Amino acid sequence: MKRIGMGIVGAGFVGPHHVDAVRRLGYVDVVAIAGSSEATARKKADALGVSKAYASYEALLDDPDIQVVHNATPNYLHFPVNAAAIAKGKHVVSDKPLAMTAAEAKTLVEQAKKAGIINAVTFNYRGNPLVQQARHLIARGDLGTPTFVHGHYLQDWLLKDTDYSWRLEPDKGGASSALGDIGSHWCDLAQHVSGLTITEVLADITTTIKQRKRPTGSREAFAAAGKDESFELVDIKVEDLASVLVRFDNGAKGAFSVGQVCAGHKNDVVVEVCGSKTSLKWRQEHQNELWFGHRDAPNQILQKDPSLMDAEVRGYAHLPGGHQEAWADAFCNLMRDIYGFIAAGKKPTDAHPPAFATFEDGYRANTIVEAILTSAKNGSVWTPVRY
Ligand SMILES: NC(=O)c1ccc[n+]([C@@H]2O[C@H](COP(=O)([O-])OP(=O)(O)OC[C@H]3O[C@@H](n4cnc5c(N)ncnc54)[C@H](O)[C@@H]3O)[C@@H](O)[C@H]2O)c1
């Protein structure tokens, strides 16, 4: 099999998972890492066993050995890095959200289309075997008509006023914090599983912690404050909690909450679809189980087991029943769909495998988040999502 060269810009929390996932495919070479300085890039490259380290993304983009560029930088760099990679004719795997605004995301969709490059966004929950099983069953009609899609994405890593991240600074994270960061995942997942499109939203959004202690030194993503760390007090303008009512294109209703200040919830993504016959629920923190709710029979739990999954989606599970698969395996499934597409020489207009979300999907998530912010700004009114 022809080998594919990959380069990654930004290797903080999630970057190393990109590296790990593509290495597991067996035919991808991690050629280089670009960081914000030569020293940080070199340190990361050494730690991950990557030979080349670049002090800028521009230098990485000039490397002829790299065909696919991964963008795992903070949100404000998504647009410039993605746009520059497209201009160099590289395929791009961007972390979410695709851009800071829907307008920027739309520009990237158009630029990618014009350049004819393969483009992907890491909505990685699509890669979970039982997410694909759920999607398959709903598309086949096993639930009947979906009538209600609900759930949440809750975390607790911003619960204390000493918790801090660039995600809370609008110039680095965007006009939205929790919604852009994890609400975008929920919206993509809910639409992907149900097969429906969110058309209208009504939102109530809150900043529960209005002032936070920003560390004056540097700190790893998601890390708690150190004992002797020094701080400065900053006003927080973006939401850390949100509840949203949604309407879907088939007339189904929905609701979800997003929060990063909810104690005990670590990475608690839940999506439930209630259909006219049966309900189905998937929970990320119990991702090897799929719950089915029945009216006239006992409820059921399907354990992740390739032999119990449908043939069309069985390939997303790689271990027998009882052998748990998890976040990093789902992330690898995503890369398997993306790189399989590239390796097969497919064109961007060809049908994509299901775990492979495109820039178009990233744009749609950006557009939903903007509609949610508009709804809240206008006093929590129903607001159309204008894709
Ligand atoms: N798909 C997921 O589930 C998931 C999970 C976590 C993060 N993310 C996304 O990934 C992105 C990165 O998040 P993170 O948690 O890894 O953040 P992070 O702060 O831990 O890492 C960002 C990295 O980018 C580097 N960087 C900053 N400026 C740079 C520049 N000019 N050139 C090159 N590198 C630069 C930083 O040094 C750091 O190493 C965010 O957009 C986030 O939304 C996605």
Render pLDDT for 268-314 as a digit per residue (tens, 0 to 9): 999 999 999 999 999 999 999 999 999 999 999 999 999 999 999 99
Q: Is the CB of 167 under 6 A from ligand 1?
A: no
> Measured in whole angstroms, how far is the alpha carbon of residue 387 from the centre of its chain?
19
Q: Ligand 1 pocket, 382 CB below 6 A?
A: no
- Residue whose CA is closest, atom 5 of ligand 1? 14
Say yes or no: CB of residue 99 within 6 Å of ligand 1.
no
- Measured over all CA atoms, what is the biggest interatomic distance in the chain, rounded to whole angstroms? 63
| Rounded Cα gap, residues 10 and 89, in angstroms | 20
> How far from chain centre, in Å, is Cα 111?
21
Q: Is 328 in the pocket of ligand 1 (CB under 6 A)?
A: no
**Per-residue pLDDT at 324:** 98
352: left (phi over 0), alpha (psi -120 to 50) or beta: beta
Q: Give the model confidence (pLDDT) of 189-247 as tens digits.
A: 999 999 999 999 999 999 999 999 999 877 777 777 777 788 999 999 999 999 999 99
Q: Which atom of ligand 1 approaches the CA of 75 most closely?
A: 41
Looking only at the bridges linking them, the beta strands covering 4-9 and 28-34 are parallel
> In the prediction, which pLDDT does 225 show?
78
The H or E element that residue 331 is part of is helix 327-343
Which phi and psi angles does 203 have, rounded to 5°? -125, 150
The pLDDT > 70 percentage for the chain reads 100
Query: What gap in Å lies between CA 257 and CA 270, rounded to an integer?
Result: 10
Secondary element (H or E) of residue 362: helix 359-377
The pick from 9, 13, 17, 218 for probing ligand 1's pocket by mutation, whose C-beta has the most ligand atoms within 8 angstroms, reads 13
In terms of Cα–Cα distance, which of 242, 247, 254 is closest to 198? 247
Q: Please write the tens of the pLDDT for every residue from 123-156.
A: 999 999 999 999 999 999 999 999 999 999 999 9
Counting from 1 in the atom list of ligand 1, the atom nearest the Cα of 180 is 43
Does 53 contact ligand 1 (Cβ within 6 A)?
A: no
Predicted pLDDT of residue 70? 98
Beta carbons within 10 angstroms of residue 304's beta carbon? 23
Contact 31, 7 (CB under 8 A): yes
Query: How many other C-beta atoms can be found within 10 angstroms of the C-beta atom of residue 5?
Result: 17
Percent of the chain having pLDDT more than 90? 96
Q: Can you name the residues that pair with 69 across neighbouring β-strands?
A: 7, 92
* Residue 54 scores a pLDDT above 90: yes
Residue 386: the pLDDT is: 97
**Which residue's alpha carbon is nearest to atom 18 within ligand 1?**
12
**pLDDT tens track for 172-195:** 999 999 999 999 999 999 999 999
Averaged pLDDT, 356-372: 98
Measured CA to CA in angstroms, residue 86 lies from 117, 285, 287 at distances of 7, 36, 35
* Shortest-distance Cα residue to atom 31 of ligand 1: 36
pLDDT tens per residue, range 88-126? 999 999 999 999 999 999 999 999 999 999 999 999 999
Residue carrying structure tokens 């158009």 = 110
The set of residues, in sequence order, having a beta carbon less than 8 Å from that of 144 and lying 6+ positions away, is 275, 276, 277, 278
pLDDT digits (tens, 9 = 90+) for 58-86: 999 999 999 999 999 999 999 999 999 99
Q: What is the Cα–Cα distance from 202 to 15, expressed in whole angstroms? A: 34
Stated pTM of the model: 0.97
Cα angle 126, 132, 134 (rounded to 5 degrees) comes to 115
Smallest CA-to-CA distance from 177 within 187, 190, 165 is with 165
Q: Residue 7: name the closest of 26, 41, 33 by CA.
A: 33
Per-residue confidence (pLDDT) for residue 83, from 0 to 100: 98
Alpha-carbon span 108 to 371, nearest angstrom: 19
* Contact by Cβ (8 Å): 146, 252: yes
Average pLDDT estimate for 364-372: 98
180 close to ligand 1 (CB < 6 Angstrom): no
What's the pLDDT score for residue 296?
98
Q: Name the pairing type of β-strands 4-9 and 68-71.
A: parallel
| CA 301 – CA 270 distance, rounded (Å) | 15
pLDDT at 340 over 80: yes
Q: What is the C-alpha separation between 354 and 142, in angstroms, rounded?
A: 19
pLDDT at 223: 77
Residue 33 in contact with ligand 1 by CB distance below 6 A: no
* Ligand 1 pocket member 75 (CB < 6 A): yes
Can you give the pLDDT at residue 250?
96
